Amino acid sequence: MALAAVLASLSLFSCAKAKLEKQVIVLGFDGMDYQYTRRLMAEGRMPNFSKLAETGTFGPLATAVPPQSPVAWSNFITGMDSGGHGIFDFVHRNPDTMQPYMSTSKTEGSEKAVKVGKYKFPLAGGEVKLLRHGTPFWELLEANGIESHIYRMPANFPPSGSASFELSGMGTPDILGTPGTFSFYTSDIFVNEREISGGAIYALDYWENRAEGRLHGPENPFLQRRQTLSADFALHVDPESPVAKLVVGDEQRVLAVGEWSDWVPVAFEMIPTQVLPAMGRFYLRSLRPEVELYVSPLQIDPISPALPISTPESFAAELARRTGRFYTQGMPEDTKALSGDVFSREEFLAQAKITGDEILGQYEVVLDDFDGGLLFYYFGNLDLICHMMFRSTDPGHPAYDAERDPEYLKVVEATYTAFDRIVGYTLEHMPDDAKLIVMSDHGFSSWRRAFHLNDWLIEKGYLTVKNPSKVAGTNIYSNVDWSKTRAYGLGLNGLFINVEDRESKGVVPKAERAALIAEISEELLAEIDPATGEPAVTRLYELEETYHGEYLGLGPDLQVGYNKGTRCSFESAIGDLTGEVLEDNMAEWSGDHCMDHTKVPGILLTSGELAKPASSLKELGGAVLAEFGITWSGTSTGG
Amino acid sequence: MIWINRVLRAVFDAVLSPFAAWSPWVGLALVSLVSAVGVLWIFKRTSNQDALAAVKSRIHAGLFEIRLFNDDLPAIFRAQTSILKANAKYLWLSLPPMIWIIVPLFFVFAQLQFHYGYEGLRPAETALLTLRLEEGAEELAAGTKPAVTLDVPAGVEVQAGPVWAPALRELSWRIGVVESGDYEAVVGYGGVEIPKSIRSTDRVARLSPNKVAPHLMGQLLYPAEDPVSGAPSVEALEVSYRERALDFLGWQVPWWLAYFVLMILFAFALRTPMGVTI
């Protein structure tokens, strides 16, 4: 009897041990397209993918509606659709003010403060709130005693706090609280200081081979008067050679023209004894005839994070001490600098390589440390390179330059093959019995035609402006006549009905909402792009039919599924008007995925069969749990 | 002074080298222990132990008096006055041994700073090598870039520079370490060759961020390397090693704080066995 008890306990122990030692590695490759991957595999250019597919599974993974990263990753995290997790787009709108706001997180300062002279001393810290709802699937692992290591999961800032180790990813702001604001400094006296999308241009004071400038931080929370924090820097230019010495506080770097610095810590003094730590990378673009210096968006310093970016909070600093400082901003590839003509394509690719190498280097350390449970690691490099470089792969793109683009033809492919090597590296370094799951949140397409949804609504009489003679270049929030507006567009796919008693200036009675949605849907589906002869829109998603859960009130009445190659314009997404309905997309941002979700599936590649097959992002979290023998019925709503 | 520093360097290198591969806490704990013993020994021999014991008794008596006569205001006042006087006497009696202690402790501190205050360069890591000139250097007056050379051994590479920054009186190079090792770079300036040590190691080792001009204060503060000789216009030759912080339960603490706290703890623990009144 006693022997049986001992054997039973030993058996239990060995089961528990086996459970703890189980390893599942999930690699999240943002934007990896199923069709493109399949083609490269067929051509033998992704041998590690092919090798894995031979012994496991490879197929498309249905993306989210709409196929936007924050929505898609939230589907994966929670097993719910937008109605359940509350993320419908990058931006949501406040129906009271009709103003857009970031959908995934909210930062609030402390309201109570003691005021002394020109200073105010907050009585409590501010708060950063994750607006994504629902239970992350890794919470069930933790509840079962299995460690989860979640690196850079999008739509997870601030970190959920429920994983053993977490590092926040997409959605993590820079030190200004923006998605990323670079600074460009020039000694050219003919260049005006100004803000541009995603950045700002500043003048340098330059005399006797010495340039001086100022780094700009957020508002000083200790001052009653609004005043931004700043930190001075100097650039000592060598009189003979193309090289300079950068001095920022106590930090010094020597940079030759064309070189990037490593991370330079920056301390913004708020009051004596209190500093806001940040860090930036400096790129010395030119010294002659003008001094030109690019400074990356100043980041939350992981050594001393100003906002919570990891679980436990000390984890980011521990990681940084092991691997060196790293980009903490959500989407670090500086697409805005390329779009704003501050970067050339080579410079953008060089910067993207720095971010990619940094994240890959950290992955190698993380994988080496990983000894059981779940490891999720996110790579966003491919997505942003595809956004900016896709036109070089598409001679049919209106902005395709037959002279310049062939030079970049292989950039996207090279990024895919680099990701193939990541899979190869993982296979070499993981135990034989570990399960590897490679997935992406959506696919990709060339973005040839820009659809100005709000201008279309004007043309069809659903949106009325106050001043019809001056539509182009205005904003719906300044030029719209809400009393005569029945529908408006906001976000990359969203269309809202201006409903009475829901929108602050709503005019459409609730009883007429459904009929109006049907009417608009019919007209949108009938819209033919005169340039292509193809429908501009191929699928529409009604709120109540598409989503389930308690957060339907945040979503648009209609999500517009654009035809492959067409996407909502940037202008319309934030409510700007142009006077055009459809036009060629001539922007550097030449690839996209915010279209009909059936046309841009992601990928799912696994080593061996999954214990529970998954065909969509919503099902994948449950499939990961099934690898550990955990059954997940999905969260209560929004399934 | 050069010879004193050479001897001290040799002694500290020999004492600390067995612990080079270990956590900095190990060597630091040992040095703190030895320092505590030394401090107690000096304190015992340079202080009036009987007078110190008497004055401490007086303080204790005053404290008891306050406790016993806590309903007698004049008695409390008298006791407090007595404690204050005794305290002043205690400080006065502690002054001579403190002065005796400060001198050797200064040298110990100066040596430890260059073992525990910085981290060696790692392979692939970069640093700045900077030559700083005196204010009177002729190039500053002439407004010309100084003629300078830098020779580095295999294992170290010059990546960029030199940059001449007259406002700082500095010429700077960015150097990179290819592989671990102890190296000597040579800066040529004004017809003089100035050697500078560069160390790439992940161990606790003596590092010299500053090689200074041969004046007394520089020698006292930067004893980790022989001073610059034969180049009167040179103020210093520097390598930008990273400062080290010790991990204490997730907190990053400077080495000197750890050293003083450990030394004080050891001194309190050893005062009775060593028969020292402090």
Q: What is the DSSP string of A243-306?
A: EEEEEETTEEEEEETTPBP--EEEEEEEETTEEEEEEE-EEEEE-SSS-EEEEPPPEEPTTS-S
Residue A594 lies in a domain: no
Phi, psi (rounded to 5 degrees) for A577? -115, 150
Structure confidence at residue A116 (pLDDT) = 82
The reply to whether A439 and A456 lie within a common domain is: no
The whole-angstrom distance between A301's CA and the closest CA on chain B is: 15
CB contact under 8 A, A255 and B160: yes
Tell me the per-residue pLDDT of A564-576, one tens digit each, with 9 for 90 and over: 999 999 999 998 8
User: Cβ distance A202 to A185 under 8 Å?
Assistant: yes
Nearest C-alpha neighbor of A412 from the set A441, A443, A391 = A391
Residue range B37-64: average pLDDT? 94
Structure confidence at residue A270 (pLDDT) = 93
Residue range A137-152: average pLDDT? 96
Q: How is residue A288 written in tokens? A: 């002659």
Tell me the per-residue pLDDT of A529-538, one tens digit each, with 9 for 90 and over: 999 999 999 9
User: Cβ distance A79 to A634 under 8 Å?
Assistant: yes
Residues in a beta bridge with B170: B132, B165
Q: Which fold has domain B119-243?
A: Immunoglobulin-like (2.60.40)
The reply to whether A265 and A296 lie within a common domain is: yes
The reply to whether A166 and A216 lie within a common domain is: no
**Which one of A236, A255, A259 has the shortest CB-CB distance to B168?**
A236
pLDDT band at A635 (very low <50, low <70, confident <90, very high): low
The reply to whether A453 and A431 lie within a common domain is: no
Tell me the per-residue pLDDT of A311-350, one tens digit each, with 9 for 90 and over: 999 999 999 999 999 999 999 999 999 999 999 999 999 9
Which one of B126, B150, B163 makes the best mutation probe of the A interface by having the most chain A beta carbons within 10 Å?
Answer: B163
Share of chain A above pLDDT 70, in %: 95
Write out chain A residues lying below 8 Å of B128, CB-based.
Answer: 252-254
Phi, psi (rounded to 5 degrees) for B153? -80, 170
Residue A92 lies in a domain: no
Helix (H, G, I), strand (E, B) or coil at B96: helix
Q: What angle do CA A335, A340, A343 make, to 5 degrees?
A: 65
CB contact under 8 A, B163 and A241: yes
Tell me the per-residue pLDDT of A99-140, one tens digit each, with 9 for 90 and over: 888 999 887 776 777 888 888 887 777 788 899 999 999 999
Tell me the per-residue pLDDT of A366-400, one tens digit each, with 9 for 90 and over: 999 999 999 999 999 999 999 999 999 999 999 99
Greater pLDDT, B136 or A4: B136
**Mean pLDDT over all residues of chain B?**
93
Write out chain A residues lying below 8 Å of B166, CB-based.
Answer: 208-209
Instruction: Give the CATH number, domain containing residue A149.
Output: 3.40.720.10
Residue A5 has pLDDT above 60, yes or no: no
Greater pLDDT, A413 or A10: A413
**Which one of B160, B167, B240 has the shortest CB-CB distance to A256?**
B160
The reply to whether A41 and A155 lie within a common domain is: yes
Report the 10 Å Cβ neighbour count for A6. Answer: 10
Structure confidence at residue A97 (pLDDT) = 86
Residue range B84-106: average pLDDT? 94
Share of chain A above pLDDT 90, in %: 85
The whole-angstrom distance between A630's CA and the closest CA on chain B is: 34
Write out chain B residues lying below 8 Å of A238, CB-based.
Answer: 145, 161-164
The reply to whether A577 and A471 lie within a common domain is: yes
The reply to whether A429 and A456 lie within a common domain is: no
Structure confidence at residue A595 (pLDDT) = 97
**Which one of A254, A259, A262 has the shortest CB-CB distance to B173?**
A254
- ipTM score for this prediction: 0.87
The reply to whether A141 and A208 lie within a common domain is: no
Residue range A67-83: average pLDDT? 97
**Whole-angstrom distance, CA of residue A500 vs CA of residue A206:** 58
**Which one of A208, A238, A314 has the shortest CB-CB distance to B163?**
A238
Write out chain B residues lying below 8 Å of A264, CB-based.
Answer: none
The whole-angstrom distance between A304's CA and the closest CA on chain B is: 11
CB contact under 8 A, B250 and A241: no
Residue A223 lies in a domain: yes
CB contact under 8 A, B164 and A239: yes
CB contact under 8 A, A254 and B170: no
Report the number of distinct structural domains present in chain A. 3
Share of chain B above pLDDT 90, in %: 85
pLDDT band at A478 (very low <50, low <70, confident <90, very high): confident
Residue A637 has pLDDT above 70, yes or no: no
Residue A306 lies in a domain: no
Q: How is residue A104 written in tokens? A: 């995934």
Residue A20 has pLDDT above 70, yes or no: no
Residue A313 lies in a domain: no
**Whole-angstrom distance, CA of residue A400 vs CA of residue A408:** 11
Residue A412 lies in a domain: yes
Write out chain A residues lying below 8 Å of B126, CB-based.
Answer: 262
Domain extent for A266: 182-300
CB contact under 8 A, A253 and B128: yes
Residue A633 lies in a domain: no
Listed range (A117-121, A385-389, A523-527, A580-584) with the worst mean pLDDT: A117-121
User: Cβ distance A283 to A297 under 8 Å?
Assistant: no
Structure confidence at residue A18 (pLDDT) = 40
**Whole-angstrom distance, CA of residue B237 vs CA of residue B129:** 7
Write out chain B residues lying below 8 Å of A241, CB-based.
Answer: 161, 163
The reply to whether A341 and A205 lie within a common domain is: no
For chain B, give every domain's residue range.
2-117+252-270, 119-243
pLDDT band at B254 (very low <50, low <70, confident <90, very high): very high
Structure confidence at residue A4 (pLDDT) = 42
pLDDT band at A21 (very low <50, low <70, confident <90, very high): low
The reply to whether A159 and A202 lie within a common domain is: no
